[in-house]
Amino acid sequence: MRHLGLKARMAIAGSILFAFYAVAAVVAMGMFDAPLALVLAGSVVFVGVQYKVGKWMAIRSVGAEDMPEDQYREIHRRVDRLSEDMGIEKPRLMVARMGVPNAFAVGRKGAGTVVVSQELLATLTADEVEGVLAHELAHVRNRDVVMMVLGQGVASIVAIVAQWIVLLTGDNEIVDFFLAIVVGQIVQMLVMVFVMAISRYREYVADADAAAEVGGEPLASALEKISRGNERASESAVDENVSALCIFGQERGLIATLFASHPPVEKRIERLRN
């Protein structure tokens, strides 16, 4: 089985994440005397709306536009071949000015969109761009964006339930209101530790899948150039939410590593070259 070790770690983190949701669902049923079917249906609707709005906002936030096939004929040709080899429908290709070389994918298998920055196309060679595209197509094939939205949805649901517990059990409306906000933020951050752990594992899997298609060196070389380009992060038009979807995440300190959506780029490059 491919990526057995990474899949095992994702399964553990995913199980813990599901446990958070199960506890929140049981508490919600008790607080509001709601049937299980209603709680489940509400969760599905909540995550579905989050997915649709998140996809639209990610594309809109960077001002992405459709990539003309006559202008980017070589990129379309390579994506056609990669999509066929990887067994997925060709995703919608878009281009945007992000201020730094980067790329991200949104959507799911059969309805994916890949956005690349003009800066990335100007920085990388054709083979390096193909390595990045293979990585993003792997995310689409593996339904990684759906998994991230699902995890973020669980974190939000658990936080909302925690806030209601504070509001319904307190005896001071003003104090309880502000306390509920603080508790919700803390609980959401705790759950997001496991969401981001899954995200980091999935980055390694997407790297490995891309390497299987085009070789490890083009993507490793691309990551080195992208890392150098992102040293000008202050110029980036990519916000924090979209950054979690990108091939390269922002640099972080020791504490923020727990909440990082991407593993260290040095480790990714080392794995690709080994």
* Domain count of the fold of the chain: 1
Contacts of 25 (CB under 8 A, 6+ apart): 36, 39, 40, 43
**CA 157 to CA 173: how far, in whole Å?**
22
**Residue 78, domain member (yes or no):** no
The yes-or-no answer on residue 65 being catalytic is: no
For CA atoms 258, 7, 238, 234, give the dihedral sign. Answer: positive
**Residue 200, domain member (yes or no):** yes
**Residue 84, domain member (yes or no):** no
16: exposed, middle or buried (C-beta count within 10 Å: 0-12, 13-18, 19+)? middle
**Residue 79, domain member (yes or no):** no
Q: Mean of the per-residue pLDDT values for the chain? A: 86
Write down the pTM of the prediction.
0.84
**CA 200 to CA 193: how far, in whole Å?**
11
- Report the amino acid identity of residue 156: S
Buried b (16+ CB within 10 A) or exposed e, 224-249: eebbebbeeeeebbbeeebbbbbbbb
- How far is CA 54 from its chain centroid? 11
Long-range contacts of 185-190 (CB under 8 A, 24+ apart): 185/159, 187/158, 187/159, 187/162, 188/155, 188/156, 188/158, 188/159, 189/259
**Residue 122, domain member (yes or no):** no
For residue 96, give the 3-state DSSP assignment. strand
**Residue 215, domain member (yes or no):** yes
Tokens representing 6 are 């990474």
**Residue 123, domain member (yes or no):** no
Indicate which residue of 119, 128, 130, 136 is catalytic.
Answer: 136
Q: What is the pLDDT of residues 166-209, one digit of tens each?
A: 998 888 888 889 999 999 999 999 888 888 888 888 899 999 99
Low-confidence ranges of the chain (pLDDT < 50): 1
**Residue 210, domain member (yes or no):** yes
Tokens representing 212 are 């299987």
Range of the domain at 178: 4-61+143-273
Q: DSSP string covering 84-134, please? A: HHHTSPPPEEEEE--SSS-EEEEEETTEEEEEEEHHHHHHS-HHHHHHHHH
Q: State the pLDDT at residue 214.
A: 94
